[in-house]
Structure 1
Amino acid sequence: MKPLPLFAYVGSYTSPERNGHGNGINVYRVDPRSGALRHVQHLDGLENPSFLALNDEGTRLYSVHGDRSEATSYTVDRETGRLTVLNRQPTGGYNPIHLAFDARQRFLIVSNYGSDSLAALPIAKDGSLAPYSTLTAVKAPLGPHRIEQRNVRPHHNPLDRAGKTFYLPCKGSDCVIGYRLDARRGVLVETSRVAARPGAGPRHIDFHPRRPFAYVINELDSTITTYRQETASGALAPLQTVPSTPPEFTGYSTGAEIWVDGSGRNAYVSNRGHDSIGVFGIDPAKGTLTPRQWVPTRGSVPRFFAFDPAERFLYVANQGGDSIIAYKVGRNGLLASTRLRTRVGSPACIVFSR
């Protein structure tokens, strides 16, 4: 049986209030050998489709819409990669910023950054979204930053590797909250929370593929915190905090994205201001981080980055630079520059078919 082509789906910011230069969702066919992107489709008529999620079968794509109040489902043609809008549903709050599936992919969990809530949208058999039943309010004391911590600001809600706990870094309240899904009621129930440094602004989290460690990029103070994860309860305990930028850098920068590679040997972060990707080695026993490399993103505001499924390339979405650039990933995890550069307005997220 002939293998299916590999596609990349790129979300963007489109609105003037976000200084958006994007035009919706763009689809690219990916050459697995060279890493090159070839444009397939532009799906317009979408406001700020800023974060995306693709189901395991690669047949349905979902987006939330920044500074709006809805999520959208799309059908995916696996042969051509092309998208068609399936339906839309309200998320029950303002500025939905992230979305993730539960372990059985029967619900889409959405965090409403602007109004401090979580919604669990049921996924119908045809992949369309059904209305949420009850919102989960996210409540926590606010941090000291007078501008960036005016509300709790839940920023990311991925499911951990065990498929049990959704973790919610809260930029406005300097904490990470764990939730588990009550599928019968269609609501999220808090199970744990851990405090970060005051003013740190936890933003995104990722997990070691085999060991009980979690890694959080803190936006406001440009640091990375390593946590130990208690297997049964999901509770997090801090182990280490290190800067995400080089020690000689004295300018202003904010942390954005974090990924752990499939081998569990390296963690990668993006820095907006320093405009770099940092590579940090992971101690195999302790889980702690040691800086190994910083590479320039060749564009401003690297809001997001992602590996291709084989982890041969790392693609950086430069929101301020209207570009996607690619680095070659070495066997040791270090990054080497390439000439791969794709012009795209205000890219905010990249997901790949499997």
Structure 2
Amino acid sequence: MSHPPSRRTVLLASAGSPLALAATAPGAAAATDASAHSAPRGHAPVQYAYVGSRTTKARNARGVGITVWRVGPGRDSWDLLQSVPADDGDPATPTPAGAIPVNPSFLALNPGGTRLYAVHGDATNVSAFSVNASDGTLTLLGTVDVGRRNPVHLTLDPTGRWLVVAFLAVPGCVVSLPVGADGSLGAAAGVLELPGTAGPHRSAQLGPNPHHAVFDPTGRWLVIPDRGLDRVFVAALDPTTGALTLNGPGWAQTRELEGPRHIAFHPDRPLAYVINELRSTVTTYKWNATAGILTPLEAQPSTAPWTTGDSRAAEIAVSPGGGHVFASNRSGAGDSTPGGPGPDTIGVFAVERHGGLKPVGWVSTQGIRPRFFGLEPSGQRLFAANEVTDTIAGFTLGADGRHLRPLGVVAGTGSPTCIVWRAAN
């Protein structure tokens, strides 16, 4: 596999330009053993993939910032189009003019694909970019300092007028930012402080730790898994003022030490699935969209029965047809541990008639620490971002929606933590 461009290479390429356009040389987008096998073509459209990363030495990161890729219908056609350099947090390292803040770790696109937003992990910033309609590249619109530390997730409300950001650092909170007509961001309009008692974990549950904030399928409710309080909150956003308020009774309480992290809703049934980081479990909830209430139905491990080492679950998704749920597992006891030595896994679960899950199997992510994975818009392929091994691995979904068929490593890039998609024109 070709190695991703070094940080020095990217920064040199950006001289004189706030956002570096990196011409793709042979091997810039890695195609390993995947290219040795045939793959069905013509089903998934050509798309742009935007990959966020961690960049700081404090995180032992090797990322350069945000990378933009052109992804073809085949598995071996990830082509690097642009690298947007970010600060690495090291005062001894020269930072080019116009570099964005550290750790653009999670990204979101507006529905039209004309704007991209990024949170800067471990910092206090959120950035906005315009997207070039013809080639998918990014231009910085601006960065706002929210004054709260370690934003980890962001989402746009259904009106597109508000960006909602979850801040993890204790005391964590959820903030709404107004979105201007040009896509730029304003100062915080609403702040939601989350009530509760910290869980018993001595280092990961020191107070409120919201890790996700997403709207339910109706767009009426904002659902917020909180790792630190062992609660999944339900709130509402006022589309006129941006104010955030808890819905009564306000939350679903989990078992202690669950550490709820992310949530995924079923596409056509009143169900939601929460991945719990600290226990590496998945909890199935009944979702009452009228009242905005989550009712737990069952919980089960996200890891394989033969898993004996430490694990921290990370991401969850539901297949397009709603028949299966996917959950990623990261070896190790948190970011301070190396993970491995073997590859981590994505668990595949069948959704049963009553809404609960039945394990189908576990698939190697061909790398370590899949902090993020996601289905690209066609729903036919899944890509996992292996943060520690600096790779993106691809899979196709079988016709039955349950089999993840490995495509191999399709791209190499430093410390990837998020992928979002936009259709190419």
Greater percentage in strand: 1
Aligned equivalents of 1:266, 1:78: Cα separation in 2: 34
Q: Under a length normalisation based on structure 2, what TM-score does the superposition of the two structures give? A: 0.80
**1:108-136 deviation per Cα after TM superposition (whole angstroms, max 9, x unaligned):** 00011113111110111111111112422
Q: Under a length normalisation based on structure 1, what TM-score does the superposition of the two structures give? A: 0.96
1:313 and 2:371 equivalent?
no
Question: Which residue is equivalent to 1:255?
Answer: 313
Question: Which residue is equivalent to 1:8?
Answer: 49
Aligned equivalents of 1:249, 1:98: Cα separation in 2: 29
Question: Which residue is equivalent to 1:160?
Answer: 216
Aligned equivalents of 1:210, 1:266: Cα separation in 2: 13
Aligned equivalents of 2:236, 2:194: Cα separation in 1: 14
Q: CA deviation at 1:4?
A: 8.8
* Aligned pairs for 1:115-264 within 5 A: 115-191=171-247, 192-264=250-322
1:28 and 2:69 equivalent?
yes
Aligned equivalents of 1:4, 1:87: Cα separation in 2: 31
Structure 1 letter corresponding to 2:236: R
**Does structure 2 retain, via aligned residues, the 8 Å contact 1:319–1:345?**
yes
**Does structure 1 retain, via aligned residues, the 8 Å contact 2:54–2:63?**
yes
Structure 1 letter corresponding to 2:288: E
Structure 2 letter corresponding to 1:271: N
Q: Which has the larger radius of gyration?
A: 2
Aligned equivalents of 1:32, 1:60: Cα separation in 2: 24
**Does structure 2 retain, via aligned residues, the 8 Å contact 1:63–1:73?**
yes
Q: CA deviation at 1:5?
A: 4.6
1:78 and 2:133 equivalent?
yes
Runs of 4+ in 1 over 3 A off after TM superposition: none
Aligned equivalents of 1:231, 1:154: Cα separation in 2: 21
**1:325-345 deviation per Cα after TM superposition (whole angstroms, max 9, x unaligned):** 101111112101123431100
Question: Which residue is equivalent to 2:36?
Answer: none
Question: Structure 2: which 5+ runs fail to align?
Answer: 1-43, 86-98, 332-342
SS at match of 1:353: strand
Aligned equivalents of 1:231, 1:112: Cα separation in 2: 25
Q: Percent identity?
A: 41
**Does structure 2 retain, via aligned residues, the 8 Å contact 1:95–1:113?**
yes
**Does structure 2 retain, via aligned residues, the 8 Å contact 1:55–1:61?**
yes
**1:261-291 deviation per Cα after TM superposition (whole angstroms, max 9, x unaligned):** 11111110100017101111112x3111011
1:295 and 2:397 equivalent?
no
1:330 and 2:395 equivalent?
no
Structure 2 letter corresponding to 1:10: V
Choose which of 263, 275, 284 in structure 1 pairs with 2:344. Answer: 275
1:60 and 2:115 equivalent?
yes
Question: Structure 1: which 5+ runs fail to align?
Answer: none
**Does structure 1 retain, via aligned residues, the 8 Å contact 2:391–2:409?**
no
**1:44-98 deviation per Cα after TM superposition (whole angstroms, max 9, x unaligned):** 1231000000011110000000000010000001221100100111233110110
Structure 2 letter corresponding to 1:344: T
Question: Which residue is equivalent to 1:342?
Answer: 411
**Does structure 2 retain, via aligned residues, the 8 Å contact 1:35–1:313?**
no
Aligned equivalents of 2:383, 2:278: Cα separation in 1: 23
Aligned equivalents of 1:32, 1:62: Cα separation in 2: 26
